[in-house]
Amino acid sequence: MSLVIDTLRTSSVTDELSDDEVQMIEGLFDVQEYKSGEVIVQPGDARPDNLYILAHGDIEVRIASGNEESTIHVLKPGDLAGIITFVGGAASDISATLYAVGKTKVLSMARVDFEKLINSHPMIVYKVMRGVTRNMHSVVRRANSQSTELMNYIYHANGRY
């Protein structure tokens, strides 16, 4: 199989798609390679509405914190990035910069290319967007869990700290 098909099969984006449907969207993705430390996406990027799926390597998600950057998460193969602008959010809402960790390969799909499927294959669009929503929901759950742990630590709650 190809890198694109293998990566799509590890991502939540294609959980509901048949093999034929995955092959239909395969051509919408470009494979991009990055060296360790290279910026993949940053605020003000020229491609603000692309969806990214990590194919190989790791990606550090960093946000500006004062005069330095803090890593808030490390993406693993199959994880998504660029969700906010892909679903129509403003590029000005983006505050994170994504950095390659080691040799990294990323799939990239422009929203404008994906939207061409709306009239011809609406169920594929629907299923992919459900996958994007599931992914976003898992991000929110993780953030909520981390927030709760931090609050428990700060306030010495629940007898765990």
Across 70-86, average pLDDT: 90
Give the per-residue pLDDT at 7: 96
Q: pLDDT by residue (tens digit) across 60-77? A: 999 887 888 888 889 999
**Token pair in block for residue 55:** 């194919």
- CATH number, domain of 154, equals 2.60.120.10
Across 105-129, average pLDDT: 96
In eight-state DSSP terms, residue 11 is: S
Count of CB atoms within 10 A of residue 32's CB? 16
149 lies in which domain range?
3-159
What percentage of the chain has pLDDT greater than the value 70?
93
For residue 44, give the 3-state DSSP assignment: coil
DSSP characters for 61-104? Answer: EEEEETTEEEEEEEE-TT-EE-HHHHTT--GGG--EEEEEEEEE
**Cα dihedral across residues 135, 139, 145, 148: positive or negative:** negative
Whether residue 14 is predicted with pLDDT greater than 70 in this model: the reply is yes
Does 4 or 1 have the greater pLDDT score? Answer: 4
Q: In the structure, what pLDDT confidence band is assigned to residue 160 with cuts at 50, 70 and 90?
A: low
Number of domains in the chain: 1
Q: In the structure, what pLDDT confidence band is assigned to residue 159 with cuts at 50, 70 and 90?
A: low
